[in-house]
Amino acid sequence: MSADQTMKTLVLKGVGVSPGIAIGRCYRFDPLDSQISFYKLNDASLIPQEVLRFKKALKESEQQLLEIQKNLKKEKVTEPVYVIDVHILILKDKIFSNRTIKYIRRLGVNAEWALRMTLDHYKQIFEGVKDAYISSRVSDVQYVVQRILRNLSGEKNEIVWEEGYDGLIIVSHDLSPADTAQMKLDKIFGFATDSGGRTSHTAIVARSLELPAVVGLDNVTRFGHTGDEVIVDGTSGLVVINPYPDMLKRYEEKKRHYDAAKDEYLKYGKLPAVTLDDYHVQIGCNIEFVEEIPSAMTHGAENIGLYRTEFLYIYREDLPTEDDHFNNYRQVVTEKNLSWSTIRTFDLGGDKFPNYQKQGKELNPQMGLRAIRFCLKEVEIFKTQLRAIWRASAFGKIKILFPMISSVDEIREAKKLLEEARQELLAQGVKIADKMEIGAMIEVPAAVVIADKLAQEVDFFSIGTNDLIQYSLAIDRANERLTYLYEPLHPAVLRFIKQTVDAAHKANIHTAMCGEMAGDPLCVLILLGMELDELSMNHLAIPRIKKIIRESTLKESKILLKKALTFNTASEVRAYVHDYMAKRFPDEFQMEDD
C-alpha cells in the first residue's frame, strides 16, 4: 500500500509499550462515550430538526443492518443473522425510539445525549434482572446505540470485525480488555491510543499478543482517520500518520531489521541466566492467557512467574465455574518444561473489571475494592478459584500468589480460606498436592515497611513494581499525563525494592520480581545487584535480559547499585545507569537510541 500523497505526514510521540513495527491502515475505534459531543439545543425551534436527525440515523442503521444480513445470508452464515434480527427489533422498538425523542423534546438536548440517556435507562433495567444471561443482553442495546451514534456523527465505517481487509492499526482513545476481546485479532497489526501508560492493561495485553503498540499519544484520534496509512513504532514510541514514500521505505527496512534481530536474540532464550561469576537468576514469564505458554517456552521461560488469572473473568459475561478455572490451570501446570507455575489469585478492580460486575464506579478504583480486598469480601467467588488451584496442584507444581497485600491480617485471612478449600477437597477425597508454596505480592508501600513480618507468613515474595511505583510515587499508572514521573529508578523505589529483598533474604525466603521493571534491560544490573532470586517478565523481554545477565557479573552489578543509591534524584540515577549500560552493552542500547 502506498501513502496517499494528498495527505500530510504527521509524526506523534507517545509511549512505546509493545516493541516492533507495524505498518497498516488506520481503523478509528470509538468505544461509546469517547467521541460523543453532548450539547443543549439553544433554541426550541431546533427540536423538530433534531428529532428528524435522530429518525434519519435510525433508518440508516436499519438499512445497514439489513444489508449486512443480506450479505451474510448469501454466504450462508446463519448465527449472526439472528443476532442482527434482535438488533433490528431494538431499532424498530417504539418504546426505545420514543424515549429518546421524549428526552430531546423535554430536555432540549441533542440526539446523542438523549440516546445516551436512553441507554442508561436500559442499563438500569437490565442490571436489576437476576438472570446473568438476560442482564448481559444490555450489550445488544449498547451495540445498537453505538451504530446510531456512528450514523449521527456521519462516520459511515463499519466496525472492524465486519470489514473485509487485513492489516489494521487500531486507533482509539483507549482500549479496554473487553474492547480487544471483540476484535478479530488476526486482522490487527498494531495499536495506537490517546491514553494509557507502560503498565496499563492495554499495554500488557498488546505485549502478550505481540502487537506493536504506542499509548499516551494524547490526540492520535484527532489526527488518524479510518483508511489512513499508519506506522506504529512500538520500540521508540512513535506513530506516523500518512508517511511520505521515503519514510515508509525506511520503516519497512527498519521492520525487516527488527524482525531479524528478534530471531537472533531467540537463541539466548534457550540458555540459563547465569552471570560470568556464576550467579544464577531464575527467569519466569508473565502470562494473561494459556495460549501464551508456547511463546513463553520458545522465548526461554523457566517458570511462569505470574499468571494474571483475572483475565478469566474479564472475557466473559458470567462468572467462571470451578471447573472452568481448573481446566484452565491444568493446561498451565502440565507444560512439562516449566519448573513451576505461579498462579496469582484474581486481581479485579483498579483498571480491570469483569463484564458481569455491576458494582458502581468507585471514585478511586486503584485504591478501592481491588485484588485481595475484593476476594476477602466475595469469599465464595474467591474460594471457587482456590479449590480449582488446589485441584490443579495434583498435576504440576503450583505456587499461589496473593495480590495487593497490605497487612498481615490479609495474608492470614487468605491462608485461612486456602486451608478451608483444602479441607473441603480432602473431605471429598479429591487428589491434591501435599503442599503449595504461598506468596505475597509486594506492591503497596505498607507491605514493604512490614516485609519482615510478612516474610514470617509466606514462602516467597513477588515484587509488583507496576503498582509499587504507582502507590509509592502516588502516580496513576494509566495516566498518560504522568508518564514522565513514573520512574522505576526513583531513589524511593530502589530503596523499597532493596528493603524488601533484604527482609526476604534475612528470613530465608525466595524473592521474585514480576512487575515490568524486571524485563527492562536498563534496570537488569541494578536488580542483579540487589540479588533478586527470580525475574519474571513478558516473553518478548526474556532473551535480551538473559543475554545481558550472561555478559555481566554480580560484582559489577553490586558496584553499580551502590553508586546508583547515592544519587538524590531519579534523573541522576537514570542518567548514570543509562550511561553505564550504553558503554557496557553498546549493541543492546543502540536500537532504542536510533
Residues designated catalytic: 201, 514
Residue 320 interacts with Mg ion (CB under 5 A)?
no
Least distance to ligand PEP, CB of residue 306, Å: 6
**Where does residue 566 rank: exposed (0-12), middle (13-18), buried (19+ CB within 10 A)?**
exposed
Q: Of 302, 443, 531, 534, which one interacts with ligand PEP (CB under 6 A)? A: 443
Question: Between 229 and 467, whose beta carbon lies closer to Mg ion?
Answer: 467
Q: Of 180, 275, 309, 466, which one interacts with ligand PEP (CB under 6 A)? A: 466
537 and 516 Cβ atoms separated by less than 8 Å:
yes
Least distance to ligand PEP, CB of residue 92, Å: 44
> Looking at the chain, how many residues does it have?
594
Residue 310 interacts with Mg ion (CB under 5 A)?
no
Residue 235 interacts with ligand PEP (CB under 6 A)?
no
Residue 194 interacts with Mg ion (CB under 5 A)?
no
Residue 467 interacts with Mg ion (CB under 5 A)?
yes
Give strand pairing partners of 510: 460
Residue 467 interacts with ligand PEP (CB under 6 A)?
yes
Least distance to Mg ion, CB of residue 477, Å: 9
Task: Please tell me the distance from the alpha carbon of residue 289 to that of residue 286, in angstroms, as a whole number.
Answer: 10
Distance from first CA to last CA of the chain, Å, rounded? 25
Question: Between 183 and 532, whose beta carbon lies closer to Mg ion?
Answer: 532
Torsion (CA) 44, 46, 48, 50 in degrees, nearest 10:
-120
Least distance to ligand PEP, CB of residue 571, Å: 23
Per-residue contact track with ligand PEP, 174 to 213, x per CB under 6 A? -------------------------x--------------
**Where does residue 517 rank: exposed (0-12), middle (13-18), buried (19+ CB within 10 A)?**
buried
Residue 514 interacts with ligand PEP (CB under 6 A)?
yes
The cell numbers describing 485, all together, are 514521573
Residue 347 interacts with ligand PEP (CB under 6 A)?
yes
Least distance to ligand PEP, CB of residue 443, Å: 5
Torsion (CA) 460, 465, 469, 472 in degrees, nearest 10:
0
Cell 502470562 -> residue? 287
Task: Please tell me the distance from the alpha carbon of residue 567 to that of residue 562, in angstroms, as a whole number.
Answer: 10
Query: Could you tell me which stretch among 91-99, 159-167, 273-281, 464-472 binds ligand PEP (CB under 6 A)?
Result: 464-472
Least distance to ligand PEP, CB of residue 410, Å: 16
Binder of residue 308, out of ligand PEP, Mg ion, none (CB less than 5 to 8 A by kind) = ligand PEP
497 and 518 Cβ atoms separated by less than 8 Å:
no
Residue 515 interacts with ligand PEP (CB under 6 A)?
yes
Mapped onto helix, strand or coil, the DSSP state of residue 448 is helix
Question: Between 3 and 469, whose beta carbon lies closer to ligand PEP?
Answer: 469
Query: Could you tell me which stretch among 64-72, 90-98, 447-455, 461-469 binds ligand PEP (CB under 6 A)?
Result: 461-469
Query: Could you tell me which stretch among 101-109, 382-390, 463-471, 491-499 binds ligand PEP (CB under 6 A)?
Result: 463-471
Binder of residue 15, out of Mg ion, ligand PEP, none (CB less than 5 to 8 A by kind) = none
DSSP string of 236-303, one letter each residue? TTEEEES--HHHHHHHHHHHHHHHHHHHHHHHHHTS--B-TT--B-EEEEEESSGGGHHHHHHHT-SE
Task: Please tell me the distance from the alpha carbon of residue 17 to that of residue 203, in angstroms, as a whole number.
Answer: 6
Residue 519 interacts with ligand PEP (CB under 6 A)?
no
Cross-sheet strand order for the sheet of 10-13: 10-13, 238-241, 229-233, 21-29, 168-172, 188-193, 213-215, 15-18
DSSP class of 176: -
Binder of residue 160, out of Mg ion, ligand PEP, none (CB less than 5 to 8 A by kind) = none
Least distance to ligand PEP, CB of residue 511, Å: 14
541 and 306 Cβ atoms separated by less than 8 Å:
no
The count of residues interacting with Mg ion (CB under 5 A) is 3
Residue type, 309: T
Per-residue contact track with ligand PEP, 305 to 324, x per CB under 6 A? -x-x----------------
The cell numbers describing 423, all together, are 479441607
Residue 464 interacts with ligand PEP (CB under 6 A)?
yes
- The binding site for ligand PEP (CB under 6 A) comprises 199, 306, 308, 347, 443, 464-467, 514-515
- The binding site for Mg ion (CB under 5 A) comprises 443, 464, 467
